[in-house]
Structure 1
Amino acid sequence: MPRELPDVLVILTDQQTADAMGAAGNPHLATPAMDALAAAGTRYRQAYCAQPLCAPSRASLLTGQLPSALGVTGNEAAAPDGTAPEPLLGRVFAEAGYDCAYGGKWHLPELDLPEGRGFRRLHPAGDDAGLAGAAAGFLREPRPRPFLLVLSFLEPHGICEWARGQDPKTGPLPAPPPVAQCPPLPANFPPAPYEAHLPRLAQRAWAHTHPTAAWREDDWRRYRQAYYALVERVDAHLGTVLAALREHERATGREAVVVFTSDHGDGAGAHGWNQKWALFEESVRVPFLVGGPGSTPGAVSDRLVSTGPDLLPTLCDLAGIPVPPGLPGRSVRAPQPRESVVVETRWELPGFNNALGRMIRDERHKYVCYAWGDHREQLFDLAGDPGEMVNLAVDARHAALLDRFRALLAGHCARSGDPFARFVPATTAI
């Protein structure tokens, strides 16, 4: 008798850094819905987006390819030849017999899901409360086939508007409490010695996006308060969805696969940084929670995850359907874990040619290389320096380690056809 296919729910938030939830040990916000997901399954602490920017990351999540392989490296979400990426996720699951629905932000490049992309549209973008309600209605409907439901919430992306003195698209936030009651500054709030020059040049050139030049410490604490309030706002909508999912599971007697992640993170004040783009941990590391049949409740894993390439193989593995051939990612349940993970970035700024960067990390160390600028190479021991405050690349005692990571990044570029290869410094003779 054929195996019954499980229902699959994928939940995306927008611009949520990995540590912005209670389950990650953060005492400055309350996220009961996210915490419940973590308690029911596995939380992957070392999960990284493909690129800290909306459209490239979303293209990667839906296709299983890195942005550079797709030619989608900016928010225009089209390759140089003008073609949009072909999302595989909906098509793969539809061909396996799934009812595939997508609600919320699409951004490839259309804000809302267009026709012919492998899903039917459940709800438009920008209305998180309406999306949660539509999802609850979907989950309460009887249906003859298993479903793949992808819910793409807008928050906490509203921190971008808040930083500019505007209301988030999901509505204004309450007045902040006194500064003494706002979250403290992170330990890595100050810019580090020997940090890369390129991100700071972009920060100064893009004042609309980074309106923080004259901010003082109190302003940053209010920013963190607002950011966490927006995470709590979206968590409340997740609660609505999860309550309906529990009803669905009780009615059907089947446990659904649930995966929760975000397209990228936010600086959240670390290194005096708001927004994304830069390859700081806060911008590139994202929540990744996996629950469902066979999950170990409350498990925490330090297995490296590249959420873009790895999401599609993971969902196929959890659903028990074949993984499309030729994809570079692997399921988080694969016997052999990743030895490294790569993140790409690119700034789309007038006058900034080749404003590119790459990072690669293994279990302990992280190497960052920007195409140009002072101190364009960064090397960190994340075990001893999780805040990325000590750049080992400027210390000759770490020359061998620096060369190893240059070779790792060059090897990745060669295998994947990444054009960033020409910016990777050659290794030195040891």
Structure 2
Amino acid sequence: MAKRQKNVLLVSFDDAFSFWHYKTIFGAALKTPNLDRICASSTAFHAAYCQSPLCGPSRASFMSGRTPHQTQVFGNKTSVFETVAPEEMWSYRLKANGYFCSSGGKVHHGFKPLDPPVHEVLYSDHRKGFRIDVTLRESIAQSRSGGSGGGVSTTDPKDDGYYHDAQAAASFVEFIEGYDGDAPFYREVGFYSPHSPFITPHRFKEMYRLNDFHMPESWKKGFQNCAYSEATVRKNFGLDNLRKWKKSVRNYFSAVSHGDHHLGTVWDALKASPHAENTMVVILTDHGHHLGERHRFGKSTLWEQSALVPFIIHDPARPEARVVSDPVALLDVGPTILDCLDLPPLEQTAGRSLRQVVEGGPADPERAVPTFNPIGSAIRKGPYRFIRYQDGSTELYDIAADWWQQELLGPSHPAHDAMAAAHRACCEAYYAPAYA
């Protein structure tokens, strides 16, 4: 009997930081037991970067395999399907090659199901809608503990199933327990966590003691950046109220742990199923998140914390823990999946297949990986992050020595000219102007 083609499970978080870097950085231990155990049998890319630090453009990019300048999606108000046909998504290649394709939450931008004409092109099953965790009905027992998002929690365990992530996980369990088709499957699971306003069951807030959170001592010396970004990047969070900061970070951590909990449900269901040894799992998010540094609590910037994302690939044929520290791009998702399934590669993509890396081969330590937003662009290459804004001003940081990017290295730094040249070349390769 011919070997069956691999299945693919794609799991997407929303606004999730690169959790490895935050395990103890604020004192309190970040609790992600399910991500941790998955990483114990997977390849974890610790230097993966989004191509846009905003939900809609990032998802348009990594699901099409095209850069924001190719999709022309730069904000959340433009749907990728206004500029790119659904047949151009890499996942359509799976359906066209006989896969049973199933939706399950936010993977493309938006929490509502895709419009029927688009859904019917991309998926083989029915449209699914799950609750959006923006507000709670007054009839639901709840509490507020303050901080960014308000610290809202449900207090009655009977409401645990109320959440988007609970419903998305339950939908996957129903799918995996019932799927017995002859075709290999591609299944999406899109989680809401840890998107604001960070609503969770109260026990996830209780996982973290407020007094365990501490600002890094280095923050006291401030953050250097150029005049253009100082004037253009909006500050939205004050650091004068330490208690509010602690509550805000606790809210975000609790939302990460909530999403991790439901990821565990998905993982356990997959591994208990007949498909466990033949399903490739890809876990990612759309962009990172600032947690108070630079007076920012949110996304959208070109600094490391907003551009850096968790990216994990589990190949059941190689269940070993592997950490890759060389830079890779979210654009690599589609090329990697297609290559691992021995399907033809995407055209017009700057993304690369990471198949040989997942199979134990080397990554590329000299690769430059970009992130774009409306006011500029940045690359990560080697130990450095280089940013060029639309007015021509630049920022250079040594990420290896200065992860928070507090010391601005000027044009006289020995690495500046080489990084500026790498930035120009990278923008050309990614179909973007060098100034943006």
TM-score, structure 2 as length reference: 0.81
On the 8 A contact 2:287/2:299 being kept in 1, the answer is yes
Shift in alpha-carbon separation, 1:294–1:71, aligned structure 2, 3 A: same
* Bigger mean CA offset, 100-109 vs 224-233: 100-109
- Residue from 207, 216, 236 that aligns with 1:186: 216
Equivalent residue runs for 1:19-418 within 5 Å: 19=19, 28-78=29-79, 83-84=83-84, 86=86, 87-106=88-107, 108=109, 111-115=112-116, 116-117=118-119, 118-119=122-123, 120-121=125-126, 123-125=128-130, 126=132, 127-141=164-178, 142-158=180-196, 161=197, 168=199, 174=205, 179-181=210-212, 183-187=213-217, 189-190=219-220, 192-202=222-232, 204=234, 210=236, 212-213=237-238, 215-248=240-273, 251-252=274-275, 254-307=277-330, 309-334=331-356, 337-338=363-364, 339-346=367-374, 356-372=375-391, 376-393=393-410, 396=412, 398=413, 400-418=414-432
CA displacement 1:65-123 (0-9 Å, x = unmatched)? 111221111111347x9535645132111012111112112554674222324124553
On the 8 A contact 1:71/1:78 being kept in 2, the answer is no
CA displacement 1:390-426 (0-9 Å, x = unmatched)? 11125x2x1x42121221222223344313x2x37xx
CA distance in 2, matches of 1:328, 1:383: 26
How far the C-alpha of 1:9 sits from its partner, in A, is 0.6
CA distance in 1, matches of 2:275, 2:110: 37
Shift in alpha-carbon separation, 1:104–1:96, aligned structure 2, 3 A: same
CA distance in 2, matches of 1:35, 1:241: 14
How far the C-alpha of 1:176 sits from its partner, in A, is 9.2
How far the C-alpha of 1:214 sits from its partner, in A, is 6.7
Letter in 2 for 1:139: I
CA displacement 1:311-363 (0-9 Å, x = unmatched)? 001111222322223321111234674411011112xxxxxxxxx11111212
* Bigger mean CA offset, 356-365 vs 184-193: 184-193
* Bigger mean CA offset, 364-373 vs 230-239: 364-373
On the 8 A contact 1:113/1:121 being kept in 2, the answer is no
CA distance in 1, matches of 2:354, 2:23: 20
Shift in alpha-carbon separation, 1:281–1:361, aligned structure 2, 3 A: same
| SS of structure 2 residue aligned to 1:295 | coil
Q: Provide structure 1 residue ranges, at least 5 long, that are not aligned to the other structure.
A: 163-167, 347-355, 425-430
Letter in 2 for 1:237: H
CA distance in 2, matches of 1:291, 1:14: 20
CA distance in 2, matches of 1:384, 1:112: 44
How far the C-alpha of 1:253 sits from its partner, in A, is 6.6
Q: Percent identity?
A: 26
On the 8 A contact 2:107/2:188 being kept in 1, the answer is no
Shift in alpha-carbon separation, 1:191–1:389, aligned structure 2, 3 A: same
How large is the Cα RMSD of the aligned pairs? 2.9
How far the C-alpha of 1:202 sits from its partner, in A, is 4.7
On the 8 A contact 2:49/2:308 being kept in 1, the answer is yes
Letter in 2 for 1:152: G
Q: Provide structure 2 residue ranges, at least 5 long, that are not aligned to the other structure.
A: 133-163
CA displacement 1:248-272 (0-9 Å, x = unmatched)? 1xx3573310111111111022333
Partner of 2:148: none
CA distance in 2, matches of 1:177, 1:12: 24
CA distance in 1, matches of 2:340, 2:244: 44
| SS of structure 2 residue aligned to 1:103 | coil
| SS of structure 2 residue aligned to 1:50 | coil
| SS of structure 1 residue aligned to 2:385 | strand
TM-score, structure 1 as length reference: 0.82
CA displacement 1:224-267 (0-9 Å, x = unmatched)? 1111000011111111111110111xx35733101111111110
